[in-house]
Amino acid sequence: MFAQSGKMEDARKAFDVLFEKNLISFNTIVDGYSKNLNSDEAFEIFHRIESTGVGVSAFTFASLLSGAASIGALSKGEQLHARLLKEGLDSDQCVGNALISMYSRCGNIEAAYQVFIEMDDRNVISWTSMITGFAKHGYAGRALETFHEMRKAGIKPNEVTFVAIISACSHVGLVSEGWEHFNSMQKVHNIVPRMEHYACMVDLLGRSGLLKEALEFINSMPFKAAALVWRTLLGACRVQGNMELGKLVAKHILDLDPHDPAAYILLSNLYASTGQWDDGLKIRKTMKERKLRKEAGCSWIEMESIVHKFYVGDTSHPRSHEIFNKLNQLAGEIKNLGYVPNTDFVLHDVADEQKEQYLFQHSEKIALAFGLISSSDSKPIRIFKNLRICGDCHSAMKFISVSSKREIVVRDTNRFHHIKDGLCSCNDYW
C-alpha cells in the first residue's frame, strides 16, 4: 500500500519488520523503488533476494529493468539482461517488453530492436514499445514502418500506440502524416482521441511553426483543453518567438491552474528571449510571492555502473577541478572549429562575456566533460537531462563530437539526440 502511493520510507519500514519475507514482499518493495526512481535501493533489495535463496521471478526483472530505464542506467540494464538469460526468463513476454523499453530509454535503440525481433510472442505492448522507441530517437520512418508491420501481423493498436505514432511525426515535421493517423483513430480503429492525442497534434503543429492552426485546433476540440495542451502550445510559442500568442496562451493556463510553475517559467523565458527583461522579472517575482518553484535542471551520466548527477555550475563532484579544466579546453577547441556561443539562451540581463561563462556552466556540458575525462574508449557518451536540452549546448556538442571524435547521445524530456561527426539525428529540428 505504501509503495503504491510513493511513500517508500514507510514501505521500507513495513518491509524491514516483516518476520518472514517471501517473493511477493520482495517484488512489492522492488517495484515500489523502481517506480519512484530509487534504482539503487531496488538493486540493493535484489541482491538481498539472491542471498536469501527466495528466488526471482519475471516480475522482479521487469521491475528492475524499469528502474534502470528511468535513470538511464544502461550497464545495470545489461547486467540484468545477462542474469535473466541465465535464469531462462528471456522468453517471457513481460520481460521482453521491459527489455525493449530499457534499451530504448537508455539510448541503445538497436539493442532494443534486437530484443524485439528475437521475441517469439509479441503483443500490443511489444509493438508499441518499439514504435515509441523509434519515435523518441527521431526515427519516424522506422516507427511508421513498424506500425504498418504491426497491422499486417493482426495486432490491434491502442491509445498509446497512436501517442507514439503522432509523436514520431512531430519529431520530424510530418504534418500530413500526423493528421492522417489522428483522423484514422476513430474512423478506422474506433479509438476516441484523448487529451494526450490532442496535445501531440498541437506539438506537431507548433513544432512546424503552424501556431495559428494549432490554436484553431485547440478551439475546435470536443472538450475543454487541459493545461497540458495549452502548455504544449506555449512551449511552441517560446521556440517560435511569438510573444503575442504566448501571453494569450499563458493566460489560459493560469486560468486553469494559477499555481502551475511551468507556465510561469515558459512565459518568463519567452519575455527574456525577446529582451523584455523587466517583464520576465515580474513573472519571476510573482512566482516567488506565490511560493512556486521551478524544477531544477540537472543532467546525469552513468560511469562504471555509478550514476553521477550534475546541476548548473555544480562544483560538488570530487573531480570538479578536472571537469572545469576540461570545459575550458573544450571551449578553446570548438571555437577554433567555428563554434560561436549563442547567448540568446542565457536568460539573464548581464554582459555578453558573463553570458558566455554561464553557458559553460550548464549541467549537460558538465556531464559531458566528466564523461570525456572518465572514459577513453570509443563507446558513445550517454547523457540524460530532466529538462529540454539548451540550444547552445546542442550546438556545442556537435562541435565537441568532432574535436573529441566521440559519439554523444543525449536524452532530454522530448527525445534523444544522437550527435556524431558534427551532425545530430534531429537534423536541428527539435
Mean pLDDT of 105-121: 96
For residue range 176-193, list pLDDT tens digits in order. Answer: 999 999 999 999 999 999
139: exposed, middle or buried (Cβ count in 10 Å: 0-12, 13-18, 19+) = buried
**Least confident span in 49-53, 83-87, 137-141, 390-394:** 49-53
Mean pLDDT of 406-422: 95
Mean pLDDT of 383-397: 93
CB 344 within 8 A of CB 269: no
For residue range 114-131, list pLDDT tens digits in order. Answer: 999 999 999 999 999 999
With bands split at pLDDT 50, 70 and 90, how would you rate the model's confidence at 263? confident
Given a cut of 80, is residue 391 above it in pLDDT? Answer: yes
The kind and range of the H/E element at 199 are helix 195-207
User: Which tops the pLDDT comparison, 49 or 228?
Assistant: 228
CA geometry: angle at 317 spanning 312 and 320, to 5°? 80
Predicted local confidence at residue 8, as pLDDT: 57
**Least confident span in 41-55, 260-274, 406-420:** 41-55
Predicted local confidence at residue 2, as pLDDT: 40
With bands split at pLDDT 50, 70 and 90, how would you rate the model's confidence at 137? very high
Residues with Cβ within 8 Å of residue 116, at least 6 apart in sequence: 96, 100, 122, 126, 129, 130
With bands split at pLDDT 50, 70 and 90, how would you rate the model's confidence at 61? confident
Given a cut of 50, is residue 211 above it in pLDDT? Answer: yes
Given a cut of 70, is residue 39 above it in pLDDT? Answer: no
Which of 227, 180, 232 is closest to 211 using CA atoms? Answer: 232
Q: What CA–CA distances, in Å, run from 291 to 168, 269, 285, 385, 389?
A: 37, 18, 10, 25, 26
Mean pLDDT of 318-329: 97
Mean pLDDT of 66-86: 90
With bands split at pLDDT 50, 70 and 90, how would you rate the model's confidence at 3? very low
CB 135 within 8 A of CB 423: no
What is the dihedral sign for C-alpha 274, 277, 281, 283? negative
Given a cut of 70, is residue 10 above it in pLDDT? Answer: no
Q: Which of 22-31, 55-64, 84-93 has the highest mean pLDDT?
A: 84-93
Written as nine digits, the cell of 8 is 517508500
